[in-house]
Amino acid sequence: MLPLAQVHIRDRTAQDPSCVAQNGFCPDWIRDHIGDYMSPLLRHVELTVVSVLAGFVIAFALALLARRRRWLIGPVTGVTGVMYTIPSLALFAILLPITGFGFVTGVIALTSYNLLVIFRNIMAGLDNVPEAAKDAATGMGMTDHQRLWQVELPLAIPEIVAGVRVATTTTVGLAALAFIAGAGGLGQQIITDIVFKSNIVTASVLCILLAAALDLLILGAQRAALPWRRAAG
């Protein structure tokens, strides 16, 4: 059984005793204590943003390699696919002896989950660039390097962004377990008091709102960056 070594994180006597003492859902308590959730929320944002950025950089490098050496696609998808299958709770625990307790371990595990989705979408985006556009670029005298950066990648942006959005919302959810690795975040806040409904609901709702906010932010950035696609949505 779980030794419920629970730290009752708040002084509850000051509030409505009937609700808080019964571990209920107490709007008043939430209003008074929402400030305590800001620092875990910020840590959650850090975990998500750093992991998605790191995942993007690695997946992007792999995709550029695989673009020229097509045989790499199979092995890269296979290895990142196995990483994707490993349960996050287990991966956090397995990494502990190697990278220790803390933020870095959380980021490494979360990054490994982003690789497959982002890599797959970058490859799909590049593969879907119309041959005619590539031919036109070559016909205009572009080098391979110019064609990649000025034609293929801009045309692949919608699919790449779709991958980053999936990776971001997924990471927000997974980061809720990063407390096992000692990386903090809203999950840490949830387990400080797992019987108090106000605590569970507040931390969970913040998680879901964070995922929605980051998703909208990326979508907004894409629309701002690609004015010619706005009509298509």
Partner 1 sequence: MTPAIVLASVFGQFSDGLDFLVHQRESVAGGVQVGGSTMWPLLGKHLEVVGLSMLFAVLVAVPLGLYLGHTRRGDFLASSISNVGRSVPAIAIVLFFSSYLGLSLVNLVFAMALLAIPPIFTNTYVGVRQVDGDVVDAARGMGLSGLQTVGKVELPLALPLVFGGIRTSVVNVIATATLGPFAGVVTLGDPIINASVYGEAGRIGTAILVAALAVTAEILFAALQRAVTPAALRPQRRGLRERLRTSPRLAQVADTPT
How far apart are alpha carbons 21 and 13 in whole angstroms?
A: 8
**Residue 231 touching partner 1 (CB under 8 A):** no
State which residue, 24 or 144, has the beta carbon closest to partner 1. Answer: 24
How far apart are alpha carbons 51 and 107 in whole angstroms?
A: 5
Tokens of 3: 């030794």
How far apart are alpha carbons 87 and 65 in whole angstroms?
A: 28
**Residue 96 touching partner 1 (CB under 8 A):** yes
Q: What is the DSSP letter of 150?
A: I
Residue type, 193: D
Q: How many residues bind partner 1 (CB under 8 A)?
A: 57
**Residue 111 touching partner 1 (CB under 8 A):** no
How far apart are alpha carbons 186 and 117 in whole angstroms?
A: 24
Out of 85, 145, 228, 232, the only residue in the binding site for partner 1 (CB under 8 A) is: 85
Helix (H), strand (E) at residue 84: helix 73-85
Buried b (16+ CB within 10 A) or exposed e, 6-38: eeeebebeebeeebbeebeebeebeeebeeebe
Q: Is the dihedral of CA 110, 115, 116, 117 positive or negative?
A: positive
Out of 21, 38, 65, 86, the only residue in the binding site for partner 1 (CB under 8 A) is: 86
Q: Which residues contact 188 (CB under 8 A, 6 or more apart)?
A: 40, 43, 178, 179
The nearest distance, CB 87 to partner 1, in angstroms, is 3
> Interface with partner 1 by CB under 8 A: which range of 58-66, 114-122, 131-139, 222-230?
114-122
**Residue 76 touching partner 1 (CB under 8 A):** no
> Interface with partner 1 by CB under 8 A: which range of 61-69, 78-86, 130-138, 218-226?
78-86
The nearest distance, CB 140 to partner 1, in angstroms, is 26
Out of 46, 50, 138, 204, the only residue in the binding site for partner 1 (CB under 8 A) is: 204
> Interface with partner 1 by CB under 8 A: which range of 2-10, 13-21, 28-36, 149-157?
2-10
Binding site for partner 1 (CB under 8 A): 1-3, 5, 23, 82, 84-94, 96-98, 113, 117, 120-121, 124, 127-128, 158-159, 162-163, 166, 169-170, 172-174, 176-177, 180, 186-187, 190-191, 194-197, 200-201, 203-204, 207-208, 211-212, 215
